[in-house]
Structure 1
Amino acid sequence: MDLSSIVRLLVLAAIWGASFLFMRLAVPELGPAWLMFGRVLLAAVFLALVAVAFKRSLPIRGYAVHFMLLSFFNTALPFLLFAYAAQTLTASLLAVLNATAPLWGALIGWLFFRQTMSLKITAGLLLGICGVAILVGFNTAVDSSALPAIAAAAGAACCYGIATWYTRLAKPVPSFVNAHGSMWGATLWLLPLLWFMPLPVAQPAAHSLYAVLALGVVCTGVAYLLYFRLVQDLGATPTLTVTFLIPVFGVLWGHLFLAEVIGWHTLAGAAIVISGTMLVTGFSLESLRAAKAPVKEKI
């Protein structure tokens, strides 16, 4: 992994870790539905401009159902659930719960797709459960009233696990096309909710609008481009490193900008969750060395 790839990886982890900070900043004034609608719409427009610039078409015929299914589980529903949870939970806790997505993927594979539950995967799942228990159980700011928010954040991570299996079984589609189509699909999914969920405040503050802009353009649009470039240069396995770095930055941004306390339970819980995720995904230094670079795809 050369220096430029390391920089891109760190920048991507920092951006995705910051998404939970921006959600915490904007959701009190905008509410979950409006916040996430603004995020996916801005991301869709940004990716459309990129597609025009690089002369990349978006095939609709034959792919509309695929885009709607993928966008529901990979974007619209998890984004909405995380935004709901952000009304109660800290950015640090949200970032760590997000890292449990591979654990959910392994559990779904075992329950519904007859995937072998090896000793390593079982140990990883148990570690993940223990890590979350430590994060939540020893957090004095979390009480019984926060259980719906915790369930929502866990449900969002589970959605990513479902989306992972769907993309494995679905017809192969270029990653940029999937991202672009998913953003427009998510926009359509979230649009009807705006009728039932009015803005909590009449005129949102400037910082809330800036947070939406950052979420849509930077944390979604730019982040996808960085992700595709890393997959192109390194392959899928090394790029998986970002999964383990996001909680680090999520905890850091929450502490620096929201004055969230970093207790021993935060560090211990995050470390255990990340360790469990590494076991489940089979991630190791050996897997990095063994990973082959994929065929390069122009963005």
Structure 2
Amino acid sequence: MTHEAPWRTPLELTLLGAIWGGSFLFMRVAAADFGPFPLVEARLGLGALVLLPLLWAARAQFTPALWLRIAGIAAINSVIPFALFAWGAERAPAGIGAITNAMTVMFTALVAFLFFGERIGPRRLIGLVGGFVGVAILASGKTAGESVWPAALAGTAASLCYGFGLNFVRRYLTGYPSGAVAAANLVSGTVMLAPLAIYNWPHHPIGAASWASALLLGVLCTGVAFVFYYRLIARVGAPRTSTVTYLIPLFGVIWAWLILGEPLTLTMALAGALILAGVALSQSRARR
């Protein structure tokens, strides 16, 4: 029996939070050159290439009916939310998307309650209300004189999509290798979005920084991060792994501040604190 170092899991969770927090930085850099649909196509395609060996190994289990199911879930769990976050990244600081992304945990609980008969409980309900108040505060703010409410609403809608998507994955894709399912999700999304991406492909030259950001977004923040994520779930369980949600907004804001010089406003700090407090309440039952 091997003894696991006590620092291993916290270190890996922190690294995963740093990687996913960085995705909002890369979207912010690349979105202006690529536009939402081409950027998401690059992200999905590159991520799919990283995970393709996992799908190939389990290909015998993937029937046409399963592929059809995965394609439907991919639309709501990848294509639409990725596009919404990329659209928001063109219009507001990277930290806005990172903060609203934290709503995913609460929306997952709300969708399970409204559509699948799961209990929500008073703690989760209070957490959900607190999270919505945080988003309202965030949407009311301005950065460099510009209103951020369109990006805040886009990020909230993307998190709602994740809430539906995670419930669908849990109910309709259990029993299949998780890494292969993630790969199939990305492959389906790539094929689905290809016509829109080609039609909207920019006619102007795309800068080196945007290409590098798109590459990191697809390979590191999507492909590698998914492998990392599923390995953590297998080793320490989903509830503990889900605590990475707390770290994504923190790193998203820090990377944007350090690398892009984006401001951290009082409104962003207050909204982020409310949303994360709501996430903590909604998760408290799961960690008991």
* TM-score normalised according to structure 1 size: 0.88
Q: Which residue of 1 aligns with 2:180?
A: 177
> Residues of 1 paired with 2:201 and 2:251: CA distance?
32
SS of the residue corresponding to residue 198 of structure 1 reads coil
**After the TM superposition, which parts of structure 1 deviate over 6 Å for at least 4 consecutive aligned residues?**
none
Report the alpha carbon displacement of residue 150 of structure 1 after superposing the two structures with TM: 2.7
Report the alpha carbon displacement of residue 263 of structure 1 after superposing the two structures with TM: 2.1
State the AA in 2 paired with 1:278.
A
Q: Deviations over 1:255-290 (max 9, x none)?
A: 001111112222221111011012123357xx2xx6
Mapped pair 1:116 → 2:119? yes
> Residues of 1 paired with 2:247 and 2:165: CA distance?
21
State the AA in 1 paired with 2:254.
L
Mapped pair 1:46 → 2:46? no
Please say if residues 22 and 211 of structure 1, whose CA atoms lie closer than 8 Å, have aligned partners that are also in contact: yes
Identity over aligned pairs, percent = 34
State the AA in 2 paired with 1:123.
I
Matched residues, number: 282
Mapped pair 1:94 → 2:67? no
Higher normalized helix content (fraction of residues): 2
Report the alpha carbon displacement of residue 91 of structure 1 after superposing the two structures with TM: 0.8
Q: Deviations over 1:149-195 (max 9, x none)?
A: 33222111110000122123214122112111001011011101024
Q: Which residue of 1 aligns with 2:223?
A: 221
Mapped pair 1:247 → 2:249? yes
> Residues of 2 paired with 1:171 and 1:157: CA distance?
20
> Residues of 1 paired with 2:273 and 2:41: CA distance?
33
Q: Which residue of 2 aligns with 1:168?
A: 170
RMSD of aligned alpha carbons: 2.0
> Residues of 2 paired with 1:46 and 1:171: CA distance?
21
- Structure 1 stretches of 5 or more lacking a match? 291-299
Mapped pair 1:3 → 2:7? yes
- Structure 2 stretches of 5 or more lacking a match? none
Of 168, 192, 197, 1:194 maps to 197
> Residues of 2 paired with 1:194 and 1:125: CA distance?
35
> Residues of 2 paired with 1:114 and 1:56: CA distance?
32
State the AA in 2 paired with 1:269.
A
Q: Deviations over 1:215-267 (max 9, x none)?
A: 11100111011111111111111101101110010010010011111122222
Report the alpha carbon displacement of residue 142 of structure 1 after superposing the two structures with TM: 6.7
Mapped pair 1:22 → 2:2? no
SS of the residue corresponding to residue 265 of structure 1 reads helix
SS of the residue corresponding to residue 192 of structure 1 reads helix
Report the alpha carbon displacement of residue 63 of structure 1 after superposing the two structures with TM: 1.4
